[in-house]
Every structure is written in C-alpha cells, then in structure tokens.
A and B are shown apart, each in its own frame.
Chain A
C-alpha cells in the first residue's frame, strides 16, 4: 500500500530535471508537456514524484502507439490530492519488444490500467502482480489498439468512408460478419474442441490464496456471481472464493460489453466522438459531453460564452442529482428494499430527463455539448409551461422536497443502518492509493473534487461544500451521495439566479470539421461517479490520433477485492452497489 504523501517542506524539493538530470527530461515535442523518464530508473523517479513532490494520486495510465516513430509510450497523469494541475510523465519503449517497469507496487491504482495497456497494446509491465488480459478474452490474438491492428468490421483508416457517397451502394454492415471474411482462425483450429484457458488460470490463482485464520476444517469453494446476475448492474462477473460465508478472495471479470470505444474514437472525426461519449456512462451523458468538449477546447484554445457555461453547469448538476438518485435507489435494491425506494427516487429523475429531452432532443443520449458551446439554447416551454418557471419549481420546490423525503425515508432506517454501517470501510490513504474517485474517495474522508481541486468551466464562481465521510463504509458512501444532491441543488439555485437571460451559446460558428493543433491534452471533469478524464493526442488532422478515457467506474473497481475481502457473500452485492458502476463505462 502506498504511503501517504508527505511533501517535504523543510528542505527545498528539487524539480524533476534538477534531481534526475539525464534520466527525466522534459518532453519537448510540439504541444506536449511533462517528462520522459528512462525506463531503467523509473522506479526511483516515480517514488520521488510520489513521496517528495507530493503527487500522491495517480489518475490515468495509458499507452500510445507511435507507429511512424517506431516506439510506444506509456503516459501517466498524477495529481496532488490537495489540488492543482497534473504531472504528466511518460516512459518510452520500442514496438518490437515493449517492456516497461510496473508501478503497481507504488501506485496500486495502476493495477487495472496497466493490465488494460497490456491488453490493448501488448506492453509488458515487469513486476506486475497479475498481468492478464482485462477487457478482451484470454485467448484473444493481437493488440487491438495498435495502429496497425484492424478490427473485424474494418472499412478504412478514418471516417467518412468513401463508399457512402456518391456511390451509395448500400449493404448491411452485419454482412461483414466477423466469423466470415474478416476474422481468421488459427491453423487447425476446431471450434468444437475449444476449451478456454482463461477460467482455469483464474480459478488456480484464487486457490493459491491463504486459507486465513479459521482453524475449523471448512471447505473453500469458488463461486461465480454473474455475468448475468440482477445485482451486478449489467453483464459483470465476480469470481469469489468463500470460506463458509466469508469472502476471502475475489476477482472481477469484465469486458463483456467491450466494443473498443477508443479505436472507434480514433477512426472518428473529433466531432463524431461526441455522441459516442454519451454511451460511456449512459446515465450521465451530459457530463461526459462536457468533459470531452473541455479536452478538445483546451487543445483548440476555444473559449465558451457565458450563457453556455451556465447551461453546462445546470446540466451537469441536474445529471449529478439524477445519477445519485439512481445509484441510491439501486443500492437499496441490493440491500433488499426491492423496487419501492428506487421508484420513489426515479420519479424526480424522470422529470430531470424530461428537461434534457426538451432541450437536447433525447432523454439519455443527449449529445449536447459542442466545441465552443452547446448545441441548442434552452427551450421556451416544457410541457406547455415556461421553462424557467419549470426549472424554478423543480430546483426550489420539488427536488429539495424529494431530498428531504429521501432522508426521512432511509437515512435513519434501522435496517439500512445495520446493514450498511461498518460494511467494507476504507481509509483515506487506501482510497487515494487505489485511485478511487468521486463519492468513493470522499466517503473515505478525502475532500477531493475536481470542481474544487482544478476548477473547470465556471465552477470557481459557485459556493458549495464538499461532503466527506469518515470511515468510508457503505453508509458513508450513501450519505455522501445524499449530501452531494443537497450541494448540487445549492449550485443550481445560484446558477439559476446568475445565468444571463440571453446570450450566445457558441463562441465559434458551428461546423463539422475541426482542425485541432498537434499536441496532447488531458481534460477531466467531476462526473457523478468520479473523475472522468480524456487523454487526447492530435497530429493536426481531422481526427484524434489517440483518444483515451479514464473511466471512473472502471478505476473504482480496482479496489473491489480490497473492499470485499472479509465481508459476507450477501454483502458483496451491496458493496458493488455502493461503488455505483455503469458497465458501458467499465468495458468501453
């Protein structure tokens, strides 16, 4: 476990290039920032970054394949939990035999992300405790995110495809059946005799675990929860090893919904990615749009008009409320209060979605932000009522009333308290080390919120508190969400009060082609589930060269095993519910 960050204040802390001359050199490529670190000294440098420079929170790890320059790169973004911008560092490796030292022992948050980089790029992380494929299945051949890899439905390097117009010779894309002409079976492969190795590896690994303290002679069994289990919130599988009712090891298995979102994103134009971001965490599409737009605006140096900024905040906070209502409702579902509380809660969510629908045209797949603003202004009316009156009624009356009812209904309910208090606690240090974000991190007592730590948009104008918990147990996570709804209502009230009544919603002329200057950018926003980050690399073309998503649901799962070990099997689903994952984002 990583030690807590203690920035050295007495002696002056040397900057990276002073301390490690020749080992950590500034990245001088046009539009790039941060440092390039020599692979053989990485251990030392990363330790210095964490302990002496105080970057205790590792946010994102990802690979990039620079095909023309014949090398690959692992890109890290670390932050300080007290706030401020990222420290971006990279380790380069060659394409033939890509090897990079693992930093999982320094930052446990890297565990799943390194596995993902291995899965997608074939980069081997020396010293990683469990380097297996994570999103693709175990026997998959090839490295899907490499630039020279072509997917099953491959048509061309980038969109738009030439045969759509003016030829228009239509065929169903499904006719390019992956089991037909696009996929090649290995020599002598027989589908009938095929026996996947992956599960055996997994079970063997679980069986290595120590039997733990009990001296009763009990049988230990391995149980699969999922992939299709109602409380796994999607197609998600947990393989648990049980001693009686106690969980003593757990491995999550996912990727069932994997569609190589990032590869699609690199074939798309910049703008085309906007509606795809809706499909990540499909409960919070407004926030996803915003975070992606922020990243590209950062690269293009675009400003956003005042009114559009207010509208974005309005949408973000309504989304946060809707998402937290949903999460709380389903947590109660998992706790055994089947359906009733959830239905009470999503009533208000329905109303919020009505507003999204009237504004953007769709309830969930909003596709609402554009680079430099938003797609449409607020509508004049909503169900024959003036929109501003409607919003006023919602924000000043209905939502606070709903929140109060929720608190009366659940917060002091003895059954909820007995089940949730003390269940799977996590300390602040552990939460930081495991890269948790959002309500998970705050419930553990770390007041870290991107809206405060590195304010984006106009969040610095609002007065709001950051609710934190103390023990990080399931009840704290519940309380943090409830209190965040309260803070969001507070922001919404200010937003409604200060929003300019009229004004531009786009700072540039709307267009569908965007030339993004060459370079890289990491943009992030505080999503209801945690920090949603986009790492984009542009080569000055009409489409991103690299498009990576730091998905909060995915990284929050890094700690799932830690959270579940020691609990009872019946509580595992509750712990999972309290993390609040959406598989669209986990699997991408």
Chain B
C-alpha cells in the first residue's frame, strides 16, 4: 500500500514523543535536575528525550577529559607553596601549535638556571587541547584541566594565561583525576626512595672534599639532604624534581665533555 512507509515512520516519531513521558514515570518525576537520573538518561539504556539542560544540568566529566592545561603546585605544611615545574622545557618542545612560553629562572648570584619557572604562559586561543604537554612532562607538573567554561569578554587581553592564572594546587588535581593521582603518587614515592638512596650512596663515596668538582650544580646537594629526611608524602616531590634535574644536568655535562674529547682526538689525527 502506498503510504505505508510514511505511516510507519510516523509511528516511530510518535513512539519517540511518548517515550519521554513514559520515562518520567520511571524516575517518578525526578527525571530532571538530578545527578543520578542524569547518568541513566545519558547511558546506553536511555529512552526518551536525550537533552541535558545545560547550564542548570551538567554532565560529570570523565576522568580523562582534557581541556586547557594547568600547572600544579604543592602546598607545604608551613603554608608555603612549591611549583612542581622545573622549567625543563619539554612541554614547550612537544606542544604542536607551540603555545607554551616558559621563562627560566636564573640564580642572581651564580647566573645558573634554577629549576623553577620565572613565568609560564599558555595562549589558550592557540592551545589545541591535545594533551601532549601533560603526557610528556617528566615531573607531573602540568595536567589537563576539566574546567571548560573559559569564555571572556575580551579575547585579546584575557586569553594568554600566565603562571598565576595557570597554577592550581595538587589537591585540586587529586579531586578531578583521583585514579591518575594515586597511580602517579605511587610511582613518585618509589622513585624518590630510590633516588634518595642513590644520593646517599654517592655522597658517602665521594666524600666532602670532592663534592664541588663532582656536582655541576652545587645547589642540588642541599635538597638531597632534605629528601633523606622522612618528609610528608607531598613534600619530597619538589626536591626529587631538583635531584632529577641535577642528575640530568650532570649526565649532560659528562656527555658534552666526552664529545669535546672525541672531537679533539679526531682533530689530533
């Protein structure tokens, strides 16, 4: 019969229309503005209208959701804060649209770089939310945020975020990504232990007199001592970061020395 297809189609539209009202009964009037029913309404067993009444209703973000990154800082017990970032520059190197700008701090006396950023900028208009910075930061210092409501009245002045605007406490991170946080803390604690032990062994082997020659960054020696002390779970992070940076620097210096030696040898021939 001609028109049968249309009638069937109409039947489906009618079913969709009725579904929501039937679904209302399932939730006994609690279909809207209710966290737990929202989850069901958006799951694979959902029936009826699918709409989320944003902004009155908001879907919970999955843990891995990523938006513009933020920087983490530790809150010490004495009220001071400590950036996790060591300004190693890896995130700014991997960033595909190159929207991370890091200014490294220099020690005013020795003029050596200090592992801590003086300032840190992200142009959030350019950030493509790819998540590479968080993926490759070796210090768990930059993470992807869940805060997606970033609109502003003037994009030309408000969308280059500086360090202050980007920084959020570690506790915030723990609240938005609890599973990631726990897993990372476990790894960090183990690494810290290992490094502390190594540092101790090294210090013993080298003895006091040679310390100056051995460590290219003398500042690193002090944090090593801190790391040995039984500190609260959060505190060793920064010192471990220092340690790591120091170790890396040392390795780099050695490599450079070896390279220079090799080049000299070549020239000699």
Q: Mark A413-424, 1 if CB is under 8 A from B, else 0.
A: 111110000000
Q: Roughly how many angstroms separate A380 CA and B16 CA in the complex, as a whole number?
A: 32
| Shortest distance from the beta carbon of A448 to any chain B beta carbon, whole Å | 31
Q: Mark B110-151, 1 if CB is under 8 A from A, else 0.
A: 000100011111010110111110011000000010000000
Neighbouring A residues of B42 by C-beta, 8 Å? 350-351, 354, 383
Q: Which single member of A163, A170, A362 contacts B129 (CB below 8 Å)? A: A362
Instruction: Judge whether B93 is part of the interface by a CB distance below 8 angstroms.
Output: yes
Q: Mark B76-109, 1 if CB is under 8 A from A, else 0.
A: 0000000000010110111110101111100000
* Interface contact A382-B62, CB-CB below 8 Å: yes
* Interface contact A398-B44, CB-CB below 8 Å: yes
Of residues 398 through 456 on chain A, the ones whose CB sits less than 8 Å from some CB of chain B are 398, 405, 408-417
Q: Which single member of A271, A344, A390 contacts B44 (CB below 8 Å)? A: A390
- Chain A residue at minimal CB-CB distance from B93: A160
* Interface contact B131-A361, CB-CB below 8 Å: yes
| Shortest distance from the beta carbon of A406 to any chain B beta carbon, whole Å | 9
Q: Mark A300-334, 1 if CB is under 8 A from B, else 0.
A: 00000000000000000000000000000000000
| Shortest distance from the beta carbon of B90 to any chain A beta carbon, whole Å | 8
Neighbouring A residues of B102 by C-beta, 8 Å? 164-166, 168
Instruction: Judge whether B4 is part of the interface by a CB distance below 8 angstroms.
Output: yes
Neighbouring B residues of A380 by C-beta, 8 Å? 179
Q: Roughly how many angstroms separate A462 CA and B182 CA in the complex, as a whole number?
A: 38
Q: Which single member of B2, B87, B130 contacts A365 (CB below 8 Å)? A: B130
Q: A379-B63, A405-B12 are in contact. Are A350 and B87 (CB under 8 A)?
A: no
A-B contact pairs, 20 of them (CB 8 A): A160-B98, A164-B98, A165-B102, A168-B119, A172-B123, A172-B125, A173-B126, A362-B129, A380-B179, A383-B43, A383-B60, A393-B44, A397-B44, A409-B8, A409-B12, A413-B8, A414-B2, A415-B6, A416-B5, A512-B90
Instruction: Judge whether B66 is part of the interface by a CB distance below 8 angstroms.
Output: yes
| Shortest distance from the beta carbon of A424 to any chain B beta carbon, whole Å | 22
Q: Roughly how many angstroms separate A230 CA and B128 CA in the complex, as a whole number?
A: 27
Q: A168-B104, A383-B39 are in contact. Are A512 and B132 (CB under 8 A)?
A: yes
* Interface contact A165-B89, CB-CB below 8 Å: yes
Q: Mark B56-83, 1 if CB is under 8 A from A, else 0.
A: 0000101111100000000000000000
| Shortest distance from the beta carbon of A315 to any chain B beta carbon, whole Å | 14
Q: Roughly how many angstroms separate A207 CA and B8 CA in the complex, as a whole number?
A: 47
Instruction: Judge whether A167 is part of the interface by a CB distance below 8 angstroms.
Output: yes
Instruction: Judge whether B50 is part of the interface by a CB distance below 8 angstroms.
Output: yes
Instruction: Judge whether B156 is part of the interface by a CB distance below 8 angstroms.
Output: yes
| Shortest distance from the beta carbon of B22 to any chain A beta carbon, whole Å | 16
Known: A169-B103, A393-B45, A416-B5. 13 other contacts (CB 8 A): A164-B89, A166-B87, A169-B101, A170-B101, A174-B156, A271-B94, A271-B132, A274-B130, A350-B50, A384-B39, A410-B9, A412-B8, A415-B6
Instruction: Judge whether B3 is part of the interface by a CB distance below 8 angstroms.
Output: yes
| Shortest distance from the beta carbon of B155 to any chain A beta carbon, whole Å | 10
* Interface contact B98-A358, CB-CB below 8 Å: no
* Interface contact B44-A409, CB-CB below 8 Å: no
* Interface contact B16-A161, CB-CB below 8 Å: no
The SS class assigned to the B binding surface is mixed
Of A159, A165, A275, A379, the most chain B CB neighbours within 10 A belong to A165
Of residues 1 through 38 on chain B, the ones whose CB sits less than 8 Å from some CB of chain A are 2-6, 8-9, 12-13, 16
Q: Roughly how many angstroms separate A510 CA and B39 CA in the complex, as a whole number?
A: 34
Q: Roughly how many angstroms separate A408 CA and B12 CA in the complex, as a whole number?
A: 8
* Interface contact A165-B8, CB-CB below 8 Å: no
- Chain B residue at minimal CB-CB distance from A415: B6
Instruction: Judge whether A262 is part of the interface by a CB distance below 8 angstroms.
Output: no
- Chain B residue at minimal CB-CB distance from A348: B44
* Interface contact A168-B6, CB-CB below 8 Å: no
Of residues 159 through 198 on chain A, the ones whose CB sits less than 8 Å from some CB of chain B are 159-161, 163-170, 172-174
* Interface contact B12-A367, CB-CB below 8 Å: no
Of A166, A359, A365, A383, the most chain B CB neighbours within 10 A belong to A166
Q: Roughly how many angstroms separate A176 CA and B206 CA in the complex, as a whole number?
A: 53
* Interface contact A268-B96, CB-CB below 8 Å: yes
Instruction: Judge whether A565 is part of the interface by a CB distance below 8 angstroms.
Output: no
* Interface contact B129-A365, CB-CB below 8 Å: yes
Q: Which single member of B6, B100, B156 contacts A414 (CB below 8 Å)? A: B6
Q: Which single member of A155, A170, A340, A361 contacts B121 (CB below 8 Å)? A: A170
Q: Roughly how many angstroms separate A351 CA and B59 CA in the complex, as a whole number?
A: 13
Neighbouring A residues of B12 by C-beta, 8 Å? 344, 405, 408-409
Instruction: Judge whether A385 is part of the interface by a CB distance below 8 angstroms.
Output: yes
- Chain B residue at minimal CB-CB distance from A405: B12
Neighbouring B residues of A365 by C-beta, 8 Å? 128-130
* Interface contact B4-A412, CB-CB below 8 Å: yes
Instruction: Judge whether A206 is part of the interface by a CB distance below 8 angstroms.
Output: no
Instruction: Judge whether B160 is part of the interface by a CB distance below 8 angstroms.
Output: yes
Neighbouring A residues of B160 by C-beta, 8 Å? 170, 172
- Chain A residue at minimal CB-CB distance from B120: A168
* Interface contact B39-A357, CB-CB below 8 Å: no
* Interface contact B5-A272, CB-CB below 8 Å: no
Neighbouring B residues of A360 by C-beta, 8 Å? 64
Q: Roughly how many angstroms separate A257 CA and B39 CA in the complex, as a whole number?
A: 37
Neighbouring A residues of B2 by C-beta, 8 Å? 414
